[in-house]
Amino acid sequence: MAFELSAETLSYIEKTIPRYPQKRSAIMMILHAIQKEKGLLSLEAQEWVAEKLDLAPIQVREVVTFYPFYREKPIGKRHIRVCRTLSCALNGGYKVCDAFKKEFHTELDEISPDGRVTVEFAECLASCGTAPVAMVDDQLYENLNEEQVAAICEQIKKETPAADTAGSKS
């Protein structure tokens, strides 16, 4: 099946490329847009980007595999990133991470059995003054404790239906 993108993403890509003096510079913003739509960056997607920017596919793949945020494998519907770095760790970041894992019966970097989330550790989220912190998708949550984590997880469960096929691991 040919690789296809929504009209919205396509128009964003067309608008983004000419913003840069050289089109190769648009690669990261394009990869962000595709990953947002598709949830991951498949090899087909990478080849599509290569063609779009007149690059060899490997020039796209080396970018995808270098930057931690780009992924070639799926994650849960919601992306939970708990800050692991010093100021958060000193204020209970590891406990916060454990609490998220427990709520969703999952381990780090896996898709939870209900398909709802993937819990990851992130390196310094630059909000050390309100440690410990975590991000759920684009939203930052600060000064977390176990009760607040429970409330956030309740919210996620309410907003996000469980996947039909439970227990799938990537």
Partner 1 sequence: MISVKKRTEIHPSERRIILKHADDPEYDVSLQCYLRHGGYEVMKQAYGRKPEELCQEVLDSEVRGRGGAGFPAGMKWKFLDRKSGKPIYLICNADESEPGTFKDRQIMHKDPHQLIEGMMISAYAIQAAQAFIYIREEMPLGAQILEEAIEEARARNLVGENILGSGYSCELVVHRGAAAYICGEETGLIESLEGKRAYPRIKPPYFPAALGLYMCPTIVNNVETLCNVKHIAEMGGKEYAKIGKPGNTGTRIWCLSGQVRNPGYYELENGMFTYGDLIYKIGGGLRDGRSLQAVIPGGSSAKVWRAGERFTGKLRSGEEFNWGIEDVPLDFDGPMAAGSMSGSGAVMVIDDSVDIVEVLANINAFYAHESCGQCTPCREGSLWMKKITTRMANGGARPEDAELLASIGDQIAGRTICAHGEACAWPTQSFIAKFRDKFVEKAKEDPERAQKRTVRLV
Contact footprint for partner 1 (CB under 8 A): 19-22, 24-29, 31-32, 53, 59, 62-63, 66-70, 81, 84-87, 89-92, 94-95, 122-131, 135, 138, 140, 142
| Cβ closest to partner 1, residue 124 vs residue 162 | 124
Residue appearing with tokens 């949830």: 39
CB of 8 to partner 1, least distance (A): 16
| Cβ closest to partner 1, residue 49 vs residue 153 | 49
CB of 105 to partner 1, least distance (A): 20
DSSP state of 19: G
Show the DSSP H helices in 67-112 as ranges: 86-90, 93-103
The Cα 83–Cα 34 span in angstroms is 25
| Rg of the chain, C-alpha, whole Å | 18
CB of 66 to partner 1, least distance (A): 4
Half-sphere exposure of 48 (CA within 13 A, CB side): 16
